[in-house]
Amino acid sequence: MAAAARDDRGLPHGSACEDARAAVESATWRLMSFYDTPLADLDAAIAADPAWALPHVMKAGFLASLTEPSMLAEAHGHLDAARARVGAHTPVRERTHLDAVALALEGRWSAACRAWDALLLEHPCDALALQWAGLWDFYRGDAAALRARPARVLPEWDEDDPLYPHVLALWAFGLEECHLHGAAEEAARRALAIDARAPWAVHAVAHVMEMQGRFDDGAAWLRQHQGTWAEGNGFAAHLWWHTALFRLEGLDMAGTLRVVDGHLAGEQLQIGLQRVDAASMLWRLHLLGADVAARARALADAWPHDVDGEAGLYAFNDVHALMPLLLTGDVARAEHWLARCAERVMAGDDARRDNHIVARELGLPLARGLVAFARGEHDAAAECLYPLRATLPRWGGSHAQRDVVDQTLLAACARGSRKAMGHALLNERMLAKAVTPLTQHWLQALEEGQVRVRP
């Protein structure tokens, strides 16, 4: 009977069709490895077993996980298709996935992660629950969950399972975000020893090296593994961003710009998460005195700022969407974008939608701090941004991504009068990581009271 069908990990499946189940397994591997999207595999699963709800749930979850407003309608459509296929034969596990994805689409991200957590207690080898909960943990900046959830299930996995190195890589990244750098690097290297095609493990080591100030090691690490991540992998743009970040840490401005122009511009940027990386890198270059106005204008033109529904979905993306507008000097359009974001998040049900709370308490104040900085109101920018640091992880992303706020603060302190604040930030930084050329730059800038244009 269909209700008794099990996958290779013993998980209950709502389909007895071998072809459909094989296609879903392939789609699951793609979700965890980022090698191409899972959509073609899921279409094959739907064709093989049109009555199975899970492939539609997986399409909805994948589209929702991209945090792309333009894809939400399609995601809702697949969720409706999944609901129409739920019946007595549908396992509780698959119903729970449907409910969790629905919560994520409603903006109830914490509730969705709790549903996946409950599922993993019953089915610790449920890769979908692990992958999706990890992504939304990342979007919520929940470092403790990024570490603890993979740790709770990892001993239950067979090390010969093709997905095992990707589970290990998830744990490695969680360890890194909890500042357990040695254990993180060890786990990630072990994952790569099992399967070199585990880009999340490459990513975890890159984060470790960034957090420790090992910018030369980091650049060499990414070059060493470039053959496995730079082509045919959805993670490539983000790892190119890490490449640029290492070059920037060494104040190799020309090298950073080459990476931006070659891999973080134009057709390389297909979705908002990739545009976020490009915006962040251009903003950091600008803080160091580089002229990036033309590049920022091209990025701003490619960002669908004026499309209905774009503003207010995810505060992390919304603040980054502001950056290219400010870099082009279009403060009026930036303030219009900010007003649209504010209108959406203030109108929603804050008790249910995680992003509305985060946007109100962090996203909008962050954005106002960036606008103040762009206006040359450096002390106002510093006073706006500094108090937000204590709760900044809730904004989302990684330590490395959120460092754009500290970089902005350092520039504001160097150009304004808040020198003591800037020195305090650098004291903290120098105890956390090696003193890099970038850190030395900010030390000098604070002493000179200005930011010189870097060559």
Question: What is the pLDDT averaged over residues 347-356?
Answer: 72
Q: Whole-angstrom Cα distance, residue 175 to residue 116?
A: 20
pLDDT-above-90 percentage for the chain: 91
Query: pLDDT tens digits, residue range 241-293?
Result: 999 999 999 999 999 999 999 999 999 999 999 999 999 999 999 999 999 99
- pLDDT attached to residue 450: 61
Q: Which two tokens stand for residue 81?
A: 């298709």
Question: What is the pLDDT averaged over residues 54-67?
Answer: 97
Q: Whole-angstrom Cα distance, residue 285 to residue 307?
A: 28
Q: Whole-angstrom Cα distance, residue 355 to residue 72?
A: 15
pLDDT higher than threshold 60 for residue 304 = yes
Query: pLDDT tens digits, residue range 111-122?
Result: 999 999 999 999
Q: Please determine, looking at this structure, whether the domain spanning 1-137 carries the CATH number 3.30.70.
A: no
Instruction: From 203, 181, 215, select the one nearest 439 (Cα to Cα).
Output: 215
Rounded CA Rg of the chain: 22
Instruction: From 48, 68, 72, 44, select the one nearest 60 (Cα to Cα).
Output: 72
DSSP state letters, 112-146: HHHHHHHHHHH-TT-HHHHHHHHHHHHHHT-HHHH
Sorted by sequence, the CB contacts under 8 Å of residue 403 that are 6+ apart come out as: none
CA 12 to chain centroid, in Å, comes to 30
pLDDT higher than threshold 60 for residue 88 = yes
Q: Whole-angstrom Cα distance, residue 73 to residue 43?
A: 18
Element (H, E) at 446: helix 437-448
pLDDT higher than threshold 50 for residue 1 = no
pLDDT higher than threshold 90 for residue 448 = no
pLDDT higher than threshold 50 for residue 2 = no
Q: Whole-angstrom Cα distance, residue 188 to residue 173?
A: 8
Burial 7-16 (b: 16+ CB within 10 A, else e): bebebbbbbb
CA 52 to chain centroid, in Å, comes to 30
Query: pLDDT tens digits, residue range 213-231?
Result: 999 999 999 999 999 999 8
Q: What is the mean pLDDT of the chain?
A: 95
Query: pLDDT tens digits, residue range 382-432?
Result: 999 999 999 999 999 999 999 999 999 999 999 999 999 999 999 999 999
Element (H, E) at 23: helix 18-33
pLDDT higher than threshold 90 for residue 351 = no
